[in-house]
Amino acid sequence: MPRPFNFSAGPATLPQEVLEQAAAEMLDWHGCGVSVMEMSHRGREFMSICAQAELDLRELLAVPANFRILFMQGGGLGQNAIVPMNLIGRSASRTADFVLTGSWSIKSHAEARRYGEAHIAAGSATGRQAQLPAPSSWRLSPNPSYVHLCSNETIDGIEFQELPDLRTLGCDAPLVIDCSSHIASRPIDWSRLGLAYAGAQKNIGPAGLTLVFVRDDLLDHALPICPAAFNYRTVADQGSMFNTPPTYAIYIAGLVFQWLKRQTESGLTCIAAIEARNRAKAQLLYDCIDGSTLYRNEVDPTCRSRMNIPFFLADESLTDAFLAQAREAGLLQLKGHKSVGGLRASLYNAMPLEGVQALVKHMQAFEATHG
């Protein structure tokens, strides 16, 4: 029996090879007699697993030497508080600027207000947007501590195809991105960034691990109230082992990084090969939606997400029937987010092209009988 295709937005599908390797190593990791879950995080075995995961991630995403990689906990929502606690004191204004493009950036803005001024530079805290505001239209504050955006809005299906260069806007504050739902799906332009964070459970591995990439010069601005376990300087100096890290999640993420590194194609770096595949998968589904009269996606084609594709049926009363038949065809978790309704397909790295082909086949068959 083949496994069904799982289109969940998160926690999300993982590569079958990774799950098989984890299963094979479950009781006895590399002959040491215990499972990774049972190891001391300070022992030689786990230290090597953790160091390798970090090295592989750094190589995969070409993370420059002046960025630290931190393995933290608390998820994307945790970082919505941890970022301001660490960075909002950077400038005397104690102001952070926010670009609001959907549900997740709105949440980031709301949380930051507990720690300082949170200025809306673009977008609005209400209403769905079909387009990203052009950086030239942003109203940045005079001296922000940082500028925050969500580079892929998981619920709304909107993605920045390019990160803004704040310097061209006359702003030398660091750019902070929540890239939870598209990290490792495409290259990252580190020259435009001060900090990036991502919960692991979308495109990296199990829930419980949060990745933080932080530029060296941003480690030392924490507010006095910042808990030690969430202070970037403390976590960086302790090699992400100030307190016990989510060891098993780090191990699985490490297996995913190794799997990603095997996805090379001739002449392309791993991440370019992964990006090309993600582009092709998304194109296939958008072409199906745009070519139909039954389905529609409401996001402007210039900023449609490659990872999370929300869509609606012209006759919404058919949604339950669509989902039931999809489930029978081995296509799981296609229900839209409760705040949006309709349908949503998440096409993370671990979703093979065959999964998207099967989805498109189901959509076309459903349209033929219900269109």
Ligand X SMILES: *Cc1c(COP(=O)(O)O)cnc(C)c1O
Interface residues with ligand X (CB under 6 A) are 10, 75-78, 104, 150, 154, 178, 180-181, 199, 202
Assign residue 350 a region: left if phi > 0, alpha if psi is -120 to 50, beta otherwise?
A: alpha
Q: Is 259 helix (H, G, I), strand (E, B) or coil?
A: helix
How many residues does the structure list for the chain?
371
- CB closer to ligand X out of 97 and 367: 97
Cβ pair 327, 305 in contact under 8 A: no
- CB closer to ligand X out of 109 and 202: 202
Cβ pair 101, 150 in contact under 8 A: yes
Spatial neighbors of 317 by CB under 8 A, at least 6 apart, are none
Catalytic residue check, 190: no
Assign residue 305 a region: left if phi > 0, alpha if psi is -120 to 50, beta otherwise?
A: beta
What stretch of H or E contains 266?
none
Q: How far is the CB of 172 from ligand X (least distance, A)?
A: 26
Q: How far is the CB of 81 from ligand X (least distance, A)?
A: 10
Catalytic residue check, 178: yes
ω into 245 cis (within 30 of 0): no
Q: How far is the CB of 76 from ligand X (least distance, A)?
A: 3
Q: How far is the CB of 293 from ligand X (least distance, A)?
A: 31
Q: How far is the CB of 11 from ligand X (least distance, A)?
A: 9
- CB closer to ligand X out of 78 and 371: 78
Q: Which of 202, 259, 281, 335 is catalytic?
A: 202
Q: Is 59 helix (H, G, I), strand (E, B) or coil?
A: helix
Handedness of CA 314, 318, 319, 321 (dihedral sign): negative
Tokens of residue 164, six digits: 């803004």
Q: How far is the CB of 181 from ligand X (least distance, A)?
A: 4
Q: Which of 29, 178, 281, 335 is catalytic?
A: 178
Spatial neighbors of 313 by CB under 8 A, at least 6 apart, are 294, 295, 319, 322, 342, 343
Q: Which of 104, 138, 281, 335 is catalytic?
A: 104
- CB closer to ligand X out of 294 and 351: 351
C-alpha–C-alpha distance, residues 179 and 171, integer Å:
21
- CB closer to ligand X out of 50 and 177: 177
Q: How far is the CB of 360 from ligand X (least distance, A)?
A: 24
- CB closer to ligand X out of 19 and 77: 77
Q: Which residue has the tokens 């029996």?
A: 1
C-alpha–C-alpha distance, residues 79 and 25, integer Å:
32
- CB closer to ligand X out of 145 and 181: 181
Residue number of the CB atom closest to ligand X: 75
Cβ pair 323, 334 in contact under 8 A: yes
C-alpha–C-alpha distance, residues 335 and 139, integer Å:
36
Catalytic residue check, 104: yes
Catalytic annotation, residues: 104, 178, 202
